[in-house]
Structure 1
Amino acid sequence: MFQYEIVQDGLTVEDLLRNKWRLGKKIVHELRMAKAVTVNGEPVLWKDPLAKGTKLQFSFEVPASSYKPTNACTVEIKYEDEHCLIVSKPKGMSTHPNDEWDSNTCMNHVMAYIQANGGHYAEHVHRLDQGTKGLLLVAKHPIAKSIFDRMIEEKTIIRTYAAEVQGNLRTDSGTVNAAIGKDRHHSTRRVVSPTGQHAVTHYEVVNRYKGTCVVHLVLETGRTHQIRVHMAYLGHPIVGDTMYDARETASGDYELHAIQLEFNHPFLNETTVVKDI
């Protein structure tokens, strides 16, 4: 199903799966039982040291994802390899279905693309709020999903956003470290709360205008409405974000854009940078 080239002398399959990729015990056991790892079509001993340049073949049964495909994929594919897709989610579109009749989400469109190209598995690694547009990482097989999930948890996938906020931040850069929880008085709103979930956002001002400024923001965590809540907490809500006390704009909406994803690709052994600007 895919190939991986050993990049250091002496690495074993066991080392690769357990230590380098840090896969869970269940998936490692399943790969072993399925004899999923071969070299030139022959089974490989998992504890034998391998020479640099050895090409491992991985072949295993991939489950089908449950997303119902749209008639055609209309989301833009910004990057693709055999392990993942990065798509540009449009503003106003949900990342994934929340109900069985919700069939026009980004993942429904992604599944249409996957099936049109002979596949049947796609799972998003993170999510974007419905009102946020931009880059979304999607895994194309379960090993990739497991590794990318861990990378998100360990903050090694750098997610950069752009937003125009009300007022001018006093400092050119900074960090907001403030836990976020649900607003007891509003079903969808979030608030900074000492009893909420840990949340960290880094910001940098890139342009200043009269009454507003444009900031680039990097997420360490991925809480619901995190950037919106943290900017409002600083007293600088995103322009047009009336849920968080910004002034209403002519469009009646706010603009938050996921403009870049950067990570060390676990299968290609290179830095991958994808932009949506």
Structure 2
Amino acid sequence: MEMCDCGGELWRWKTVFVGIPRLVTLIPGDGIDPLVTGTVEQVFEAMRAPVIFEKFEVHGDMNTIPDDVMDSIKKNRVCLKGELITPVGGGVNSLNLLLRKELDLYISLVSCFNLPGLPSRHENVDIVVIRENTEGEYSGLEHEVVPGVVESLKFCSERITQYAFKYAHLNNKKIVIVVHKANIMKLANRLFLESFREIAKRYPNIKYNEIIVDNCCIQLVSKPEQFDVMVTPNLYGNLVANTAAGIVGGTIVIPGGNVGTKYAIFEQSASARNVGNV
């Protein structure tokens, strides 16, 4: 397999039979995740997939990502990763977030769809959640103004909206829906919404809609088949992606990726299975 550049912004995968195997960085992760990534290794071996894994032991209680691991990801450009546990509270940095910020993996892409043999309350579910991955609450740009008052910064996330519409265009998706809370957070969420509206004008063949995050969650669990591509700020996207994954069987069976213009890290879709993860 090889990763298509697609203009440096979009990723797709295609099967390519080549003589030289592709090097992929592998981080087994914490908790149950080494079992999951270990199964992937077994499947790849059984398929004789032209992939060689460079495996590194990294754990969430480390102070940082070791240099040799970062060098491997930057060299290979593709990483398969299990989740790294982040202790709750105490000012401990998340290594998951550190990787996303260091490699500028600004896209979190989760595909939620019905799987054969896995019963669900709903049928015809095929939802793609495209979540901003590095800005807003997850940027870490916050400080205490005075004791008891904390300020956190948000941004106008134009590039994540651009990615969502390009993804929809290349994958024959019919509608892109933005999830927001601009009815209450009139300044911060308005930036995201205005960016979405401007980008939507460039894609007249793709329908677009807007939905408040509260209503979105209700609609997801009652009639998920109405959704196609969803684009969200990071905090709402975390909730929406977990909800959508739960509809079709849970986060452990749904694929996800953290993607940037140069690098991609693939893992399970979300982190609800381990307390304290983000």
TM-score by length of 1: 0.28
**More strand per residue:** 1
Under a length normalisation based on structure 2, what TM-score does the superposition of the two structures give? 0.28
Larger radius of gyration: 1
